[in-house]
Chain A
Amino acid sequence: MPKIYLDYAATTPCDPKVAKAMSVFLKKDFGNPSSIHNFGQKASMAIGMARQNLAEFLGCESEEIVFTGSATEADNLAIFGTLKAVKITKPHIITSQIEHPAVLESCRELERRGVEVTYLSVGKDGVVEVSELKKAMKSNTVLVSIMYANNEVGTIQPIAEIGELIKKINTKILFHIDAVQAANFLDCDVKKLGVDLLTLSGHKIYGPKGVGALYVKRGTPIAPIIYGGGHERGLRSGTENVAGIVGLGQAVKEIQNPKLKIQNIRIRQFRDKLIKTILKIIPASRLNGSLTQRLANNVNISFDGAEGEAIVVALDQKGIACSTGSACSSGSLEPSHVLLALGLSEEAAHGSLRLTLGKYNTAKDIEKIIKVLPVIIQRLRKISGYK
């Protein structure tokens, strides 16, 4: 049975060019970048080139890039690192209710340590209201952390508008964005966006797992959260994951390839066809999150009377890999905090399906899921006694 992958928001396969670039640094040029001999210097230069690739993509200086072990680590560094460096007695931070756990749990931990946190609500469309953010700002606000695009429902936040607002109110307030899901599709120029910190991940952009990066604008107060040999300008100690960093650099270079624009148009067409067809042929189905302010590859739909994980398992039996909106499969039984924040009932939040497309999907993949999904929903509705 041919396998169809529709879970690109969870992770992406490595682009062959990425894998090829990496393999050199796993075998032949294996040196420690801190070593002064030729082996080390080759690795060090490769990291420098990857850093340059990221700088070009973000429109910043290469010295402003810090490589980390994951995007979660980059988010942690952005939040804990800046809070540590900002000297203020009772700091306040603003984030949203639909952030990735890497940000949300970091904020909750800071709250336990006495930091004041505002979790902005979102509308039914899954988009943060800039006016609400403005109202939440206080004299002790030191950091605003908002994701560029949501991982579950794909909604895009008005980052440039927020960036402008923050700088107008108080230039000292730091602005961090998690651009992990956005990087494939949206402009990540840090100056246009007006951000001080930006998180990227390797494995969501056809790069490897186990590597992330944080853009830190020059002059941003930030302290390390990991101590050791002083790598990455002292902000992230630990011998560099050379192959991973090279892979991330190559992946970012591929994003800048003009071919990507064409690929993204195709992905968007697939997405639109999926949304339109599913909503039309499956009764009692609803799209979650804005249709217009939405990543080109995200479909998130709730079905009355069919539970998300059951849909995913049934689709997997047909060779189609996708995911639920809920975190149930990750071990927690709570319904998705994102869908609840969008105002869905607990039952509706449990009945959601997330399909996320990528550059290796074909028109056949889309046809197959359109054929298979209605049968599965109908069967699950029969099992649940849904009328």
Chain B
Amino acid sequence: MEYYSKKIINRFMHPKNLGKIKEADGIGDTTNLRCGDLMKIYLKVEKRGDEEIIKDAKFETFGCGHAIAISDMMCDLVKGKTFTEALKVGYEDIAEEIGPIPPVKVHCAKLAQAALKAAIEDYKEKTKL
């Protein structure tokens, strides 16, 4: 396995979901000092009946190429999903899209999950009546 696959390089060089969302409904960040990565996910949420749908997701990441590619992919995968569905997105789903990730980098997917979870919690906190 190549340390950096073509698909991952492509995502790293040309991320689709980079940046902040102005007036985001939820913002979550996380730190993983062991590898030094910091991820931040911004969400735009739409309420449909009883359910919340993620309308848009963007990211900012201080990390390696894998961490950046995974953050970007995570944003892609959660768009259009309900919170319950989005929280189920994990390493396997990301790997299905961008190919396998070296074992030492698998934790980047966990980091993206944690950032997403934090963003959803932030939304819930903000909308609590």
The closest CB in chain A to the CB of B29 belongs to A385
Task: Give chain A residues whose Cβ lies under 8 Å from the Cβ of B38.
Answer: 384
Task: Give chain B residues whose Cβ lies under 8 Å from the Cβ of A333.
Answer: 34-36, 104, 107
The closest CB in chain B to the CB of A304 belongs to B62
B3, B18, B63: residue with the most chain A Cβ atoms closer than 10 Å: B63
Known: A305-B62, A383-B60, A385-B60. Is A347-B68 also a contact (CB below 8 A)? no
Would you call B113 an interface residue if the criterion is a C-beta within 8 Å of the partner chain's C-beta atoms? Answer: no
The reply to whether A313 and B62 form a contact with Cβ atoms under 8 Å apart is no
Would you call A317 an interface residue if the criterion is a C-beta within 8 Å of the partner chain's C-beta atoms? Answer: yes
B87 CB to closest chain A CB (Å) equals 23
In-complex Cβ contact of B36 among A307, A382, A383 (8 A): A307
Q: A309-B64, A384-B62 are in contact. List 15 more A-B contacts (CB 8 A).
A: A306-B62, A307-B36, A307-B37, A307-B63, A310-B12, A326-B36, A333-B34, A333-B36, A335-B36, A346-B36, A349-B36, A350-B36, A383-B60, A383-B62, A385-B62
What 9 A-B pairs have minimum CB-CB distances, sorted nearest first? A350-B36, A385-B60, A384-B62, A309-B64, A333-B35, A313-B65, A310-B64, A331-B104, A310-B65
The reply to whether B60 and A384 form a contact with Cβ atoms under 8 Å apart is yes
The closest CB in chain B to the CB of A349 belongs to B36
Measured between alpha carbons, how far is A335 from B36 in the docked complex, in Å?
Answer: 8
Would you call A161 an interface residue if the criterion is a C-beta within 8 Å of the partner chain's C-beta atoms? Answer: no
Task: Give chain A residues whose Cβ lies under 8 Å from the Cβ of B3.
Answer: 329
A351 CB to closest chain B CB (Å) equals 8
The reply to whether B34 and A307 form a contact with Cβ atoms under 8 Å apart is no
15 CB-based A-B contacts, threshold 8 Å: A307-B62, A307-B67, A310-B63, A313-B4, A313-B12, A314-B13, A333-B104, A334-B34, A335-B36, A347-B36, A350-B36, A382-B18, A384-B61, A384-B63, A385-B40
Task: Give chain B residues whose Cβ lies under 8 Å from the Cβ of A347.
Answer: 36, 62
Task: Give chain A residues whose Cβ lies under 8 Å from the Cβ of B104.
Answer: 331-333
Task: Give chain B residues whose Cβ lies under 8 Å from the Cβ of A308.
Answer: 64
Known: A314-B13, A383-B15. Is A346-B61 also a contact (CB below 8 A)? no
Task: Give chain A residues whose Cβ lies under 8 Å from the Cβ of B64.
Answer: 307-310, 313, 328
Count of chain B residues near A, Cβ 8 A:
26
Known: A305-B62, A309-B65, A383-B18. Is A346-B12 also a contact (CB below 8 A)? no
The reply to whether A317 and B13 form a contact with Cβ atoms under 8 Å apart is yes
Would you call B129 an interface residue if the criterion is a C-beta within 8 Å of the partner chain's C-beta atoms? Answer: no
Would you call B9 an interface residue if the criterion is a C-beta within 8 Å of the partner chain's C-beta atoms? Answer: yes
In the complex, the number of residue pairs spanning A and B with C-beta atoms less than 8 Å apart equals: 67
Would you call B20 an interface residue if the criterion is a C-beta within 8 Å of the partner chain's C-beta atoms? Answer: yes
Measured between alpha carbons, how far is A314 from B66 in the docked complex, in Å?
Answer: 12
Binary interface encoding of chain A residues 335-372 relative to chain B, with 1 for a CB under 8 A from any of its CBs, else 0: 10000000000110111000000000000000000000
A136 CB to closest chain B CB (Å) equals 30
Chain A residues within CB distance 8 Å of chain B:
305-310, 313-314, 317, 326, 328-329, 331-335, 346-347, 349-351, 382-386
A349, A383, A384, A386: residue with the most chain B Cβ atoms closer than 10 Å: A383
Task: Give chain A residues whose Cβ lies under 8 Å from the Cβ of B9.
Answer: 313, 317
B30 CB to closest chain A CB (Å) equals 13
A349 CB to closest chain B CB (Å) equals 8
The closest CB in chain B to the CB of A309 belongs to B64
B57 CB to closest chain A CB (Å) equals 15
Binary interface encoding of chain B residues 8-35 relative to chain A, with 1 for a CB under 8 A from any of its CBs, else 0: 0100110100111000000000000111
Task: Give chain A residues whose Cβ lies under 8 Å from the Cβ of B67.
Answer: 307, 310
A326, A346, A385: residue with the most chain B Cβ atoms closer than 10 Å: A385
Measured between alpha carbons, how far is A39 from B54 in the docked complex, in Å?
Answer: 75
B15, B37, B64: residue with the most chain A Cβ atoms closer than 10 Å: B64
In the complex, chain B residues 30-88 whose Cβ is within 8 Å of any chain A Cβ: 33-38, 40, 60-65, 67-68
Measured between alpha carbons, how far is A308 from B35 in the docked complex, in Å?
Answer: 11
The reply to whether B33 and A346 form a contact with Cβ atoms under 8 Å apart is yes
The closest CB in chain B to the CB of A331 belongs to B104
A305 CB to closest chain B CB (Å) equals 6
Task: Give chain A residues whose Cβ lies under 8 Å from the Cβ of B65.
Answer: 309-310, 313-314
Task: Give chain A residues whose Cβ lies under 8 Å from the Cβ of B13.
Answer: 314, 317
The closest CB in chain A to the CB of B4 belongs to A313
A330 CB to closest chain B CB (Å) equals 9
The closest CB in chain B to the CB of A313 belongs to B65
Task: Give chain B residues whose Cβ lies under 8 Å from the Cβ of A351.
Answer: 36
A327 CB to closest chain B CB (Å) equals 11
Measured between alpha carbons, how far is A383 from B36 in the docked complex, in Å?
Answer: 15
Measured between alpha carbons, how far is A124 from B119 in the docked complex, in Å?
Answer: 39
